[in-house]
Amino acid sequence: DRLIIAVSETYDIVVTIPADKTAYEFLATPEDRTKSTSLYIGSGIKQLVAPLPKLKYFEGMKMMNGMMKMNGDLDDMGMSMSLNKMDMNVVMYPEITGETKPKTNTKMEGMKMDAEQYNANALSDITTLNYAMLKSPIKTTLPENAPVKELKFELTGNMNRYVWSLDNKVVSEADKILIKKGENVRIVLHNNSMMRHPMHLHGHDFRVLNGQGEFAPLKNVIDIMPMETDTLEFNANVDGDWFFHCHILYHMMSGMGRVFTYENQPANPEIPNPKLAQRKLFADDRKFHFMAENDFATNGNDGEAMYQSTRWSIGTEWRLGYNDMHGYETETHIGRYIGKMQWLMPFIGFDWRYRRMGEDMQERNLFGQNNTKDKRAVVSLGVNYTLPMLIVAQAEVFTDGKVRLQFERKDIPVSKRLRMSLMWNTDKEYMAGLRYIITRWGSLSSHYDSDMGFGAGFILNY
Ligand SMILES: [Cu+2]
């Protein structure tokens, strides 16, 4: 059997030890399967478990690429998923779907492919335990006749920018959720993001409505897979401000949570300064993060640095040639991401360039505008829009009257380690590049660039 335990989830498991002089291996491994630990249950001859095979990450990436609809919502193909019964990640688990392509299992015949291709228990003889199988040994029903408050949350996020939220709002952008003492609170959660989120509520155990009726299990963490909808309920019976959040700490820090608070409750003596406490909580998702990379190439240095938060972006790109003819160029954009999917980013920009062209050389852009100045320092207004296939379209108007349209797609996965980038703009500049990822922080690169020609180098990234 397999049991997938989410971050911060806890289980007490009762194991029956067979009385046949055999020690059975109990193997635990993190989800990325890089390490493992085992203990042996029973005494006698050790019965070993085969180590779990490596995940098929590339299959997982292809699966995720097919999941999103044009408006950014996830496409559940008409399956109503809940309680971990279907798991898109099975495409990455070789023990379920085989080493290379999905196993053609006799069990599959006659089943509707769409609905069952992610049902681990239909695909394999291994049993994958899920929430629908949990049952409380005692009745867990809530007080009858209590008023019911229903709350709905959509788990939202942006894989590209690593923004995580509820209903597209981070903690510091949302109000506290007011609940009344005595009422039964029902929470419906739908995961419209591409990652699993173990949602955790402080101060209460909630019932997971999993089809077990009066014996619904009590938990305080529920792991919700992409496209799943789950319903929880609890009786509001403990005063306080209680954090409800994704327990993947990176997601929590980026703002995936809410504070539940009781109406008209007495002041909490443990929080003498509520304003300060709130400011500290909000500081988490208001933090900026820094990224930078530079390609040390035979034809120059090519790089960028970004300083970004949930909504804001300050970014600089540079191209520094090794001589005046190639020139030196930087573009800085300060913008704000707009909308649920953050596909739109209006920005103000600052461009600076120095180069020395030959005396008779003139450049003309696609709109017939001349481009003669060797020194150029201009301010701009512009907008980025992310098109399908993650192509970023950029329109920019500069203070010297120039207009530029640009299309760029970075990081096209060609194979596991090979990435391609393409760029073209109306200044008739273009670039095509390949990078081969060696480690997390370094890649080999080669690119062709209309300004600086062919180059090969090494990209360092932070
Ligand atoms: Cu999360």
Res. 209: pLDDT tops 80? yes
Compute the distance from residue 345 Cα to the ligand 1 centre, in Å: 24
> Distance (Å, rounded) from C-alpha 10 to C-alpha 217?
13
Which band of pLDDT confidence, cut at 50, 70 and 90, is reported for residue 369? confident
Cα-to-centroid distance, 7 and ligand 1 (Å): 10
Per-residue confidence (pLDDT) for residue 431, from 0 to 100:
94
Pairing of strands 22-28, 163-166: unpaired
Residue 353 corresponds to which amino acid?
R
Give phi and psi for 450, each to the nearest 5: -65, -25
Residue 265 clears pLDDT 80, i.e. is over it: yes
Average pLDDT score over the chain: 87
Q: Which fold has domain 136-274?
A: Immunoglobulin-like (2.60.40)
418-434 residue pLDDT tens: 999 999 999 888 999 99
| pLDDT of residue 156 exceeding 50 | yes
Q: Say what the pLDDT of residue 60 is.
A: 78
The CA 251 to ligand 1 mean position distance, Å, reads 5
Phi, psi of 141, rounded to the nearest 5 degrees: -60, 150
- Alpha carbons 330 and 328: distance in angstroms, whole number: 7
What is the reported pLDDT for 107? Answer: 44
pLDDT for 70: 61
The pLDDT-based confidence of 269 (bands split at 50, 70, 90) is: confident
In this prediction, residues 385-409 reach a mean pLDDT of: 92
* pLDDT tier at 112, thresholds 50, 70, 90: very low
Average pLDDT value for residue range 29-50 = 87
Kindly state the helix (H) or strand (E) to which residue 354 belongs, with its residue range: strand 344-354
Which pLDDT belongs to residue 150?
A: 96
Instruction: Specify the DSSP element, H or E, that contains 119.
Output: none
DSSP tag of 52:
P
The predicted structure's pLDDT at residue 241: 92
Looking at residue 110, its pLDDT comes to: 42
State in Å: Cα 372 to ligand 1 middle. 51
From residue 32, alpha-carbon distances to 36, 53, 76, 189, 313 in Å are 10, 10, 25, 26, 31
Return the minimum-mean-pLDDT range out of 88-92, 196-200, 234-238: 88-92
- Residue ranges per structural domain of the chain: 1-52, 57-132, 136-274, 289-461
Tokens 């009781």 belong to which residue? Answer: 262
pLDDT at 109: 43
Mean pLDDT of the 84-104 span: 71
> Is the pLDDT reported for residue 101 higher than 60?
no
What is the Å distance from ligand 1's center to 245 Cα? 8
In the predicted model, is pLDDT for residue 130 greater than 80? yes
Q: What is the CA(197)–ligand 1 centre distance, in A?
A: 4
Per-residue pLDDT, 388:
83
Buried b (16+ CB within 10 A) or exposed e, 11-22: eeeeeeeeeeee
Residue 247 Cα to ligand 1 middle (Å): 6
Average pLDDT over residues 113-121: 67
The DSSP output letter for 68 is: B
Q: Which residues surround ligand 1, an ion (CB under 5 A)?
A: 197, 246, 248, 251
Q: Tell me whether strands 241-246 and 257-262 are parallel, antiparallel or unpaired.
A: antiparallel
Can you spell out the DSSP letters for 440-461?
A: TTEEEEEEEETTTEEEEEEEEE
Task: Express as a percent the part of the chain with pLDDT over 70.
Answer: 91
pLDDT (0 to 100) of residue 108:
44
CA-derived radius of gyration, the chain: 27
In this prediction, residue 462 carries a pLDDT of 95
CA of 86 to the centre of ligand 1 (A): 18
Q: CA angle, corner 452, sides to 449 and 458, nearest 5?
A: 75
* 114 pLDDT above the threshold of 60: no
248-265 as b/e, with b when 16 or more CB fall inside 10 Å?
A: beebbbbbbbbbbbbeee
Q: Tell whether the model's pLDDT for residue 71 goes beyond 70.
A: no
Tell me the residue ranges of DSSP E strands in 170-308.
177-179, 184-191, 197-201, 206-208, 218-219, 221-224, 229-235, 241-246, 257-262, 289-297, 300-308
CA of 147 from ligand 1 middle (Å) equals 30
Mapping DSSP onto H, E and C, the string for 199-238 reads EEECCCCEEECCCCHHHCCEECEEEECCCEEEEEEEECCC
Question: Residue 265: helix, strand or coil by DSSP?
Answer: coil
Say what the pLDDT of residue 326 is: 75
> Does the pLDDT of residue 278 top 80, yes or no?
yes
> How large is the average pLDDT for residues 256-283?
92
Q: Return the pLDDT at 212.
A: 92
CA 257 to ligand 1 center in whole angstroms: 9
Q: What is the CATH number of domain 289-461?
A: 2.40.160
Residue closest to 209 by CA, chosen among 195, 194, 228: 228
Task: Give the pLDDT score at 100.
Answer: 63
The yes-or-no answer to whether 136-274 and 289-461 have a common fold is no
Between 262 and 388, whose confidence is greater?
262
